[in-house]
Amino acid sequence: MNSELLLAIGKMLLVAVVVLSFVLFSVLYMIYGLRKVMGFIQARIGPNRVGPQGLLQTVADALKLLQKEDVIPEGADKWLFTIAPAIVFIPAYLVYVVMPFGDGLIARDLNIGIIYVSAITSIAVIGVIIAGWASNNKWSLLGAFRAAAQLVAYEVPMILAICIPVVFAGTLRMQGIVEAQSGYYMGFIPKWFILSGYGIPAIAAFIYLAAGLAEINHTPFDIMEAESELVAGFNVEYSGMKFALFFLEEFAASFTISAIAVTLFFGGWNPPLPFLGAQFMPAPGQHASLLWMGISLFWFLAKSIGLVVTLMWIRATWPRVRVDQLMNFGWKVLIPIGLVLLLAAGGIVAAGG
């Protein structure tokens, strides 16, 4: 019994380390990717000095941040100031527990997976508010206030949008939702939710992405760290490794939003066309082969990265919305549309479509 327990703990640790290194590695290269994409869009080259093509730039930046002095401002609440970055980062990491990286590649396929995701991701905002409060700085506090208002407004449409694939799939399990999207209409149009359900999930995907952008405080909804108004928002007073943790969370969260959107609407790890790997899909009840795991992992990552790049593209293009516009958009547009869609989705499923 003891050896079994040890084995289980060892397995958990292994998964934890693998996932953590995936998060760190992907964030390093997402930052590099963002700087390159934004550079190219602005007719610049972007980082190209450290390592070949600048590939080690973010590694160097991280090392620099590690060495920097860790300033705790006078008058700050030391205890809260110190734990806030951790509160922000840990949820971003914990989400990966239920991330369906591929067929069989999931740390824990919880039966309430998607509820777990939305519950965990909203914890990060508590960290943001604590950070803003503990800094004892008016800009931070304003950023935190905005974060609170924004999160309350956008959590609701996000959950409504999440509900729609759940209604169609009939399960809250992440792998169950992905499996519900496998197969092809007429042999070549993938049965992803975004392409089925009479277009209802497609609108839901739009709502999810809009709310998701607001949730991870990404352009065009980045009012909680609006540089032009609030210096840097809730993280003005942070420096060194604590600042790096906020930065890490921001990018990890943008991957999370993309990955969850892929899972819910873009077919998860299902190949987009039947001949691009779907022939290796095991029959129901059989174990996934290693090859199929690799293929499904590839498609999941490819779709997620594609969405992440789209977010970067949006970030380099659209202006920030005003606070009142943001609130109007959340409460008066997204929530009513979400409710109507949910009703329609329920009607379609009840009618047997």
Work out whether 325 is an interface residue with other proteins (CB under 8 A): no
Among the residue ranges 34-42, 90-98, 109-117, 227-235, the one whose residues contact other proteins (CB under 8 A): 34-42
- Residue 259: other Cβ atoms inside 10 A: 26
Contact criterion met (CB below 8 Å) for 27 and 248: yes
Binds other proteins by CB under 8 A, chosen from 15, 16, 24, 41: 41
Shortest separation between residue 29's beta carbon and other proteins, angstroms = 18
Beta carbons within 8 Å of 237's beta carbon, 6+ residues apart: 71, 73, 76, 81, 135, 136, 137, 140
- Of 17, 25, 42, 198, which one interacts with other proteins (CB under 8 A)? 42
Judged by CB, which is closer to other proteins: 39, or 274? Answer: 39
Closest CA to 131 of 43, 220, 234: 234
Question: With DSSP H G I counted as helix, E B as strand and the rest as coil, what are the percentages for the chain, rounded to 5?
Answer: 70, 0, 25
Tell me: does residue 198 bind other proteins (CB under 8 A): no
The CA distance from 307 to 2, in Å, is 44
User: Does position 37 bind other proteins by CB under 8 A?
Assistant: yes
User: How many angstroms separate the CA atoms of 210 and 199, rounded?
Assistant: 17
The neighbour count for residue 57, using CB atoms within 10 Å, is: 20
Q: Is 317 in the site for other proteins (CB under 8 A)?
A: yes
Minimum CB distance to other proteins, residue 333 (Å): 9
Among 318, 322, 325, 347, binds other proteins (CB under 8 A): 318
The phi and psi torsions of 171 (rounded to 5 degrees) equal -150, 155
Residue 126 sits in the site that holds other proteins (CB under 8 A): no
Q: Under rule CB under 8 A, how many of the chain's residues touch other proteins? A: 12
- Of positions 94, 314, 321, 339, contacts other proteins by CB under 8 A: 314
Measured from the CB atom, the residue of 40 and 188 that comes closer to other proteins is 40
3-state secondary structure of 193: helix
Question: Of the candidates 12, 17, 45, 340, which one interacts with other proteins according to CB under 8 A?
Answer: 45
Q: Which residues bind other proteins (CB under 8 A)?
A: 37, 40-45, 313-314, 316-318
